[in-house]
Amino acid sequence: MNEMISTGAARLERRMARGCEFLGSEVAILCGAMSWVSERNLVAAISNAGGFGVIACGAMNPELLDKEITATRALTDRPFGVNLITMHPQLFDLIEVCGRHRVGHVVLAGGLPPKGALEAIKATGAKVIAFAPALSLAKKLVRSGVDALVIEGMEAGGHIGPVSTSVLAQEILPAVASDVPVFVAGGIGRGEAIAGYLDMGAAGVQLGTRFVCATESIAHPNFKRAFLRASARDAVASVQVDARLPVIPVRALKNPGTELFTAKQREVAASLDSGAVEMAEAQLQIEHYWAGALRRAVIDGDVEHGSLMAGQSVGMVTKEEPVADIIATLMEEAAAALEKRAA
């Protein structure tokens, strides 16, 4: 039995080698940045356990990011990344902060990077990881010089695109996985799925939901409890109420806050109507709403009115346990699945 597992483990190690080399980690598993959740404690715990943690910069200003990177470094000497949102008004100052700290990997989220952003990051010596929501964009990003891609399907928690992980993986992996490492995200709760995406050519995977209830995660006990109780069908995508106000859907556990978001959209749409705000400002208001609502749930524990961003894999989160145990379980499941491939 031991020998059998070790063959699977060896296969897993080979399939993860490229991703591990790119990240500088022991296993090619990233914990995707989660606003308010992915701070120093969870990020350091992930990297210390052999994975790759990513600080969620979210709406932090440069001073706060500076402090967070310093504090994370104090907890781990292993590599970790920083996730920056492309529409952040101080994006270039945040890049400068990452550069000053010699952050090795910057993950760009929230749409195509503005002019000069890739060059600015690369000038610091960091590698750039970008989200590719479609094959055409994946190719465009590779041409423009990104070092790796994350493809994230609509099963994921937080802001989502319209396409499922399995379809994105089939469309994008065969076309670009030989050019740059591609990490698959969205809906991954067990190692069998990790093995599957590695077999399809992924360099590794990114998980978010599965790590929220880690012992080291500072998410409020109420937030964790909501995750432990929920099943896949409770993690629903937000609904857009006004055709003129395109809202990026967000996947979260259903709660009274879901209705508050609908009300917020109506309110913002009304200010658009009256000319009180421009479209860009209206969309920014929606994004600020999410950041505030997520903080309310993650930090304050208001699981009724805050936002419980969670992916469909939430049903596979069954207990609070240390990060090292979660990673060990995922690796064992993946190794066992790869072992069976030979049969």
Ligand X SMILES: Cc1cc2nc3c(=O)[nH]c(=O)nc-3n(C[C@H](O)[C@H](O)[C@H](O)COP(=O)(O)O)c2cc1C
**Residue 209 beta carbon to ligand X: minimum distance, rounded to whole angstroms:** 3
Which of 47, 83, 238, 283: binder of ligand X (CB under 6 A)?
83
Query: Treating both helix axes as pointing N-terminal to C-terminal, what angle do 40-48 and 62-75 enclose, rounded to 10 degrees?
Result: 40
Identify the CA nearest to 114 among candidates 89, 80, 142, 133. 89
Which of 185, 193, 326, 334: binder of ligand X (CB under 6 A)?
185
By CB under 6 A, is residue 133 in contact with ligand X? no
One-letter amino acid of 203: A
By CB under 6 A, is residue 158 in contact with ligand X? yes
> What's the residue count for the chain?
343
Which of 8, 19, 22, 32: binder of ligand X (CB under 6 A)?
32
Q: Which two tokens stand for residue 103?
A: 């952050």
Using the rule CB under 6 A, give the single segment among 34-42, 59-67, 322-330, 333-341 that binds ligand X: 34-42
Q: Which two tokens stand for residue 162?
A: 């319209």
Site for ligand X in 268-327 (CB under 6 A): 309-311, 313
By CB under 6 A, is residue 43 in contact with ligand X? no
Identify the CA nearest to 205 among candidates 13, 328, 32. 32
**Residue 42 beta carbon to ligand X: minimum distance, rounded to whole angstroms:** 11
Question: In this structure, what is the dihedral angle of CA atoms 34, 38, 43, 45, given to the nearest 10 degrees?
Answer: -100
CA pair distance 341, 161, nearest whole angstrom: 32
Our CB check for ligand X shows the closer of 39 and 155 to be 155
By CB under 6 A, is residue 187 in contact with ligand X? yes
Compute how many residues bind ligand X; rule: CB under 6 A.
Answer: 27
**DSSP-derived secondary structure letter, 312:** G
By CB under 6 A, is residue 238 in contact with ligand X? no
By CB under 6 A, is residue 154 in contact with ligand X? no
Q: How many CB atoms lie within 10 A of CB 96?
A: 15
Interacting residues with ligand X (CB under 6 A) = 32-35, 37, 56, 58, 83, 109, 152, 155-158, 185-188, 206-210, 309-311, 313
